[in-house]
């Protein structure tokens, strides 16, 4: 297969594969994770390289496969100029951040987890910018929200990290829902979810009646993701993430995803007054609010966070202006902001790393401690302020120019350049604060660490980015021009307008505005002391974040209120309502039916044995009700009930059910014994007498109803679905055991889901039990001391002899399962019991030494084998999980029907063993923590 026809999906999926590899490799060597993450990124760049060449030559690449045509979902990727710009930013800055993070993370932090999240996020971002199909784009969009949640909450032990991550997820996830609705509307209007069609349908969409709702919904998605007012507050709260994450998410990727969509839909949605009002106004407010609040942040990263919000507002505003030249300026600023903001975040991380704090009131005068870093930071901050000869200046000039062009006649229009200049003033002021407070302004105050230069490799990414800032600022035509040109072409989907990247345009209005911003910024910074005091007393505390918290609290209150209205926390109450309603409906059903109660079938003759067995069942069930307060005895009696039920299954020709019932019965006893150890031995009496009568009558009536219903059904001849399966079992599934063939073949997909749930349940229980410490009782319920001998010798010996025999039975039941009673599930339970028996008789430690494989890998292997079997069928061109079967002649066994479903059954077997043993043994380990040693009688 020619790689150049699949390189787009390959580049997107590579980081996801890399994430798994990195997480695995980190077990062996910490730094290997960083190396592998870097190599994955380079590989993705390499795979994309030929495609980028083609795009720079003016092509648009589309690689598409039909996926689910019924809902318009294709597996489709697209690379044009806009996608190329973003893909390059994601990968190049990603590479620098990986190098930086390698030195940033301390020995306590898990490298594998970090780089695995990082690569997952990178892949999701690439998916967003390279998707041709909008539904597929949506999937990657949600993935960025999820993976950024993992990144922001990377330091899981910190409350603020968890809270910041939750907030980011709630806001961006909520916006994602709005975006999905917008995209669905868009697809309805155009009749296709493919960007190629949507981009051509701009006229049609703008004239459509649903244009406005679509625009608003998509805008909400964009605003939440790109931290636009009033959704901006999640971004500063996400600053509790490790700094490499901030450098990556808030410069080149996450927050730019929303901006990317603005650019993507620019030719489709822009150019209407609605667009300009909505996008432009929000952009302007965000620009001003961000720049204003940034000045008052004492936290280094807080300042950068609000500055990011402000710059995002600037880009949004430019797109909102709606002209082609404004879009050019926006794209240019996207590139410039990514370079200087990434380097500034990295500098903030270095300072935090080397001084132990980010509080600008304490870190002062760092110039002499870290001169190299200081120079880098000053250049990057100057670029942020828009100082000439740096890249920020060029795009800011373009912005001012567009602000002047847009001003027009109206009063509101006149305000645009004024507000733009005002934002420029604040942006200069906070950049100046970043430089002056941190690197000058006297001596450091009370730092936890003695500051010094970071390791050289931690600085290299900053070096690279700052050199880019200067190179673009001085020689734009030789550096950024080609990239900007293709990006503009890709965004506008047409002939790009004339624009000039020159540094000097003569004395004009933008230059004047730049000058005012610089001088004004210095002036504002000069009077900062009274300004700070005013801000502290008046503005602080008026934050949107409090409104958010209040709303979330209210929401939870309402939800709790509704829940409490129905669920009073009493199982009896809940059962009463559910069962009472069932009884009502059942009675109504009986009464409304005119048919005779019993059917025509002749009843089977009654024999004495069945009578005895039936009596046992009934009496044992009754006994378990009467004795339910004594939990151990109730358990014994329940064991008898289960046994008799399985006997009944045998009698009425359901051997599969009987075998399953038996195995489950034993496992249940072991499970409950394990739990009972930590629980009270007796259930206290709590219910009032009238409740007992009420519940007893209800239960009796329901039992009667169920019995009558069963009789009514069983005495009738009915054609059931079973006949179809019985006749199709051998020709369609290659097995004579209908039950097993249904499980592994006809309903294979269900079983696949069930074993996945089983594996998840096993893992969930494993995770839940990890931190639990339970105190074991020192004596039994009657106050007797426990026996001295932990594992009686006779028991040990016999259980060891039995182990291979039980496994042999399991193998036998498994192999035979496709044709006669048995199969992977029952065999799995038997094998699991064999292992559990060793744990019971010989102890957990003894068994763990001999069965070394971890049950996690059994679960994983089982799921892989089961899914792999299905995949093989797909690879051969059949639907997922299609089964094939053939006859083989084995030397001893004889003629044998071999079906591919047996491999699937193998997966079921492995998962059942893994989950059962894992759950039981983990429960068994509970008391190994802090268990007080029993006081032995006679020894004291």
Q: Which of 139, 404, 640, 769 binds another protein (CB under 8 A)?
A: 640
Stretch that binds another protein, among 157-165, 581-589, 596-604, 787-795 (CB under 8 A): 787-795
Q: Which is nearer to another protein, 351 or 840 (CB)?
A: 840
Q: How many residues bind another protein (CB under 8 A)?
A: 65
Q: Judged by CB, which is closer to another protein: 95, or 620?
A: 620
Which stretches of 57-158 are DSSP H helices? 81-104, 111-130, 134-152
827 binds another protein, rule: CB under 8 A: no
The span from the CA of 92 to the CA of 811, in Å, is 54
Give the span between the Cα atoms of 739 and 654, in whole angstroms. 9
Least distance in Å: CB of 35 to another protein?
42
Interface stretch with another protein, choices 235-243, 369-377, 573-581, 920-928 (CB under 8 A): 920-928
Both tokens assigned to 118:
């990082």
Q: With respect to another protein, which residue has the nearer C-beta, 418 or 618?
A: 618
Q: Which is nearer to another protein, 806 or 860 (CB)?
A: 806
Give whichever of 17 and 926 is closer to another protein, judged by the CB atom. Answer: 926
H, E, C per residue of 388-403: CCCHHHHHHHHHHHHH
- Per-residue tokens: 85: 């710009």
Structure tokens at 222: 């964009």
What whole-number distance in Å separates Cα of residue 393 and Cα of residue 503? 9
Q: Which is nearer to another protein, 283 or 817 (CB)?
A: 817
Q: Given the rule CB under 8 A, which of 122-130, 336-344, 591-599, 638-646 is the region that contacts another protein?
A: 638-646
Tokens 């998605």 belong to which residue? 221
**Nearest alpha carbon to residue 80 among 45, 55, 53, 49:** 55
Instruction: Sort strands 894-899 and 61-68 into parallel, antiparallel or unpaired.
Output: unpaired
Whose CA is closest to 759, among 906, 881, 916, 868?
Answer: 916
Residue 620, interface with another protein (CB under 8 A)?
Answer: yes
786 counts as binding another protein under rule CB under 8 A: yes
Nearer to another protein, 633 or 708 (CB): 633
Distance CA 387, CA 383 (A): 6
Find the binder of another protein among 70, 608, 721, 892 (CB under 8 A): 608
Cα 235–chain centre separation? 19
Q: Using CB under 8 A, which of 270, 841, 908, 917 touches another protein? A: 841
Nearest to 241 by CA among 373, 349, 90, 110: 349
How far apart are alpha carbons 865 and 873 in whole angstroms? 13
Token digits for 580? 């009472």
659 lies in the site for another protein, by CB under 8 A: yes
Interaction pattern, residues 800-819, with another protein; x per rule: CB under 8 A: --x--xx--x---x------
Which residue's CB is nearer to another protein, number 529 or number 852?
852
C-beta separation of 173 from 220 below 8 A? no
Q: What is the SS3 assignment for 65? A: strand
CB nearer to another protein: give 456 or 614: 614
Q: Which stretch binds another protein (CB under 8 A): 109-117, 477-485, 762-770, 830-838?
A: 830-838
C-beta contacts of 936-939 below 8 A and 24+ residues apart:
936/785, 936/788, 937/785
Q: Which of 35, 75, 677, 880 binds another protein (CB under 8 A)?
A: 677
Select the residue interacting with another protein from 613, 711, 860, 867 (CB under 8 A): 613
Is residue 795 a contact residue for another protein (CB under 8 A)? yes
SS3 assignment, position 63: strand
Shortest Cβ distance from residue 163 to another protein (Å)? 39
Give the shortest CB-940-to-another protein separation in angstroms: 19
Q: Which stretch binds another protein (CB under 8 A): 2-10, 48-56, 250-258, 642-650?
A: 642-650
β-pair type (885-890, 894-899): antiparallel
Measured on CA atoms in the order 27, 29, 31, 33, is the torsion positive or negative?
A: negative
Stretch that binds another protein, among 187-195, 334-342, 667-675, 707-715 (CB under 8 A): 667-675
Our CB check for another protein shows the closer of 133 and 838 to be: 838
511 touching another protein, by CB under 8 A: no
Q: Which residues of 575-593 are buried (b: 16+ CB within 10 A; e: fewer)?
A: eeeeeeeebeebeeeeeee
- Asked if 621 is part of the footprint of another protein (rule: CB under 8 A), the reply reads no
Q: Is the dihedral of CA 103, 106, 110, 114 positive or negative?
A: negative
* 233 contacts 293 by C-beta, under 8 angstroms: no
Q: How far is the CB of 220 from another protein (least distance, A)?
A: 54
Under the criterion CB under 8 A, does residue 790 sit at the interface with another protein?
Answer: yes
Q: What's the rounded Cα separation, in Å, for the pair 48 and 4?
A: 9
- 182 binds another protein per the rule CB under 8 A: no
720: left (phi > 0), else alpha (psi -120 to 50), else beta? beta
Return the number of the residue (187 or 642) whose C-beta is nearest another protein: 642
Give residues 79-98 in contact with another protein (rule: CB under 8 A).
none
| Interatomic CA distance for residues 21 and 566, integer angstroms | 48
Tokens at residue 323, please? 């002209």
Tell me which residues touch another protein (CB under 8 A): 608-609, 612-613, 615-616, 619-620, 623, 632-633, 635-637, 639-640, 643-644, 647, 650-651, 655, 658-659, 662-663, 665-666, 669-670, 673-674, 676-677, 776-777, 780, 786-787, 790-791, 795, 799, 802, 805-806, 809, 813, 820-821, 830, 833, 836-837, 839-841, 843-844, 920-921, 923-925, 927
């Amino acid at each position: 297969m020619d790689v150049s026809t699949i390189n787009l999906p390959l580049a997107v999926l590579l980081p996801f594969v890399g994430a798994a590899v990195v997480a695995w490799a980190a077990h062996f060597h910490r730094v290997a994770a960083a190396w592998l993450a870097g190599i994955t990124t380079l590989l993705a760049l390499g795979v994309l390289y030929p495609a980028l060449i083609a795009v720079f030559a003016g092509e648009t690449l589309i690689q598409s496969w039909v996926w689910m045509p019924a809902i318009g979902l294709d597996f489709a990727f697209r690379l044009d100029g806009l996608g190329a710009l973003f893909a390059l930013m994601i990968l190049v800055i990603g590479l620098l951040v990986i190098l930086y993070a390698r030195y940033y993370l301390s020995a306590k932090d898990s490298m594998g987890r970090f780089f695995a999240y990082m690569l997952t996020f990178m892949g999701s971002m690439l998916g967003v910018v390279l998707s041709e199909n909008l539904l597929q784009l949506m999937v990657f969009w949600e993935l960025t929200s999820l993976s950024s949640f993992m990144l922001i909450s990377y330091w899981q032990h910190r409350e603020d990290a968890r809270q910041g991550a939750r907030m980011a997820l709630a806001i961006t996830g909520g916006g994602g829902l709005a975006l999905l609705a917008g995209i669905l509307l868009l697809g309805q209007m155009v009749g296709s979810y493919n960007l190629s069609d949507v981009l051509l349908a701009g006229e049609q969409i703008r004239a459509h009646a649903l244009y406005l709702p679509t625009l608003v919904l998509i805008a909400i998605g964009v605003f939440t993701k790109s931290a636009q007012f009033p959704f901006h507050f999640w971004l500063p709260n996400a600053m509790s993430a490790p700094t490499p994450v901030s450098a990556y998410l808030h410069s080149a990727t996450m927050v730019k995803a929303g901006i990317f969509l603005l650019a993507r839909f620019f030719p489709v949605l822009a150019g209407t007054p609605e667009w300009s009002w909505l996008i432009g106004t929000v952009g302007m407010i965000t620009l001003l609010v961000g720049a204003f609040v940034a000045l008052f942040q004492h936290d280094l990263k807080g300042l950068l966070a609000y500055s990011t919000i402000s710059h995002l507002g600037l880009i949004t505003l430019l797109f909102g202006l709606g002209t082609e030249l404004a879009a050019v300026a926006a794209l240019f600023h996207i590139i410039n902001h990514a370079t200087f903001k990434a380097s500034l975040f990295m500098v903030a991380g270095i300072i935090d790393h080397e001084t132990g704090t980010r509080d600008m009131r304490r870190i002062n005068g760092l110039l002499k401690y870290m001169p190299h870093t200081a120079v880098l930071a000053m250049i990057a901050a100057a670029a942020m302020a828009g100082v000439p000869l740096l890249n920020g200046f060029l795009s800011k000039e373009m912005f001012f120019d567009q602000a002047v062009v847009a001003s027009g006649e109206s009063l509101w229009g006149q305000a645009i350049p004024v507000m733009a200049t005002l934002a420029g003033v604040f942006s200069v002021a906070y950049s100046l604060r970043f430089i002056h407070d941190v690197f000058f302004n006297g001596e450091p105050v009370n730092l936890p660490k003695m500051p010094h230069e970071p390791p050289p490799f931690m600085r290299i990414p900053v070096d690279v980015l700052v050199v880019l800032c200067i190179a673009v600022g001085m020689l734009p035509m030789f550096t950024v021009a080609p990239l900007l040109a293709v990006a503009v072409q890709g965004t506008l989907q047409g002939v790009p307008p004339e624009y000039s990247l020159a540094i000097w345009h003569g004395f004009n209005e933008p230059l004047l505005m730049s000058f005012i911003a610089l001088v004004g910024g210095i002036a504002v910074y000069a009077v900062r002391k009274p300004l700070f005091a005013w801000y502290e007393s008046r503005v602080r505390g008026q934050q949107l974040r409090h409104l958010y918290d209040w709303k979330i609290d209210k929401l939870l209150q309402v939800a709790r209120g509704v829940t409490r209205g129905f669920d009073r926390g009493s199982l009896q109450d809940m059962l009463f309502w559910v069962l009472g309603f069932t009884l009502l409906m059942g009675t109504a059903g009986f009464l409304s039916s005119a048919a005779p109660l019993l059917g025509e079938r002749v009843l089977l003759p009654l024999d004495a044995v069945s009578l005895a067995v039936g009596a046992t069942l009934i009496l044992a069930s009754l006994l378990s009700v009467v004795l339910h307060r004594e939990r151990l005895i109730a358990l014994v009696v329940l064991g008898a009930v289960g046994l008799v039920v399985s006997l009944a299954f045998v009698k009425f020709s359901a051997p599969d059910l009987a075998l399953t019932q038996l195995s489950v019965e034993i496992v249940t006893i072991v499970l409950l014994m394990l739990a009972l150890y930590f629980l009270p031995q007796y259930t206290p009496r709590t219910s009032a007498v009238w409740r007992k009568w009420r519940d007893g009558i209800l239960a009796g009536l329901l039992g009667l109803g169920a019995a009558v219903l069963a009789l009514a059904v069983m005495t009738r001849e009915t054609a059931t679905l079973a006949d179809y399966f019985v006749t199709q079992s051998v020709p369609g599934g290659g097995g004579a055991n209908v039950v097993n063939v249904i499980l592994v073949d006809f309903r294979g997909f269900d079983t696949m889901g069930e074993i996945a749930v089983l594996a998840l349940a096993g893992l969930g229980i494993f995770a839940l039990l990890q931190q639990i410490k339970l105190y074991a009782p020192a004596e039994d319920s009657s106050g007797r001391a426990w026996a001295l001998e932990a594992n009686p010798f006779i028991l040990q010996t016999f259980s060891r002899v039995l182990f291979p025999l039980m496994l042999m039975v399991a193998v036998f039941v498994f192999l035979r399962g496709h044709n006669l009673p048995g199969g992977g599930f029952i065999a799995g339970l038997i094998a699991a019991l064999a292992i559990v028996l060793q744990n019971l008789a010989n102890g957990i430690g003894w068994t763990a030494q001999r069965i070394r494989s971890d049950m996690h890998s059994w679960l994983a292997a089982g799921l892989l084998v089961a899914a792999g079997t299905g995949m093989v069928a797909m690879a051969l061109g059949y639907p997922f999980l299609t089964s094939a079967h053939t006859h083989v002649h084995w030397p001893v066994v004889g003629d044998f029907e071999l079906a591919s479903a047996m491999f699937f059954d193998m997966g079921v077997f492995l998962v059942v063993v893994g989950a059962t043993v894992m759950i039981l043994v983990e429960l068994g380990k509970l008391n190994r923590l802090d268990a007080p040693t029993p006081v032995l009688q006679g020894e004291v």
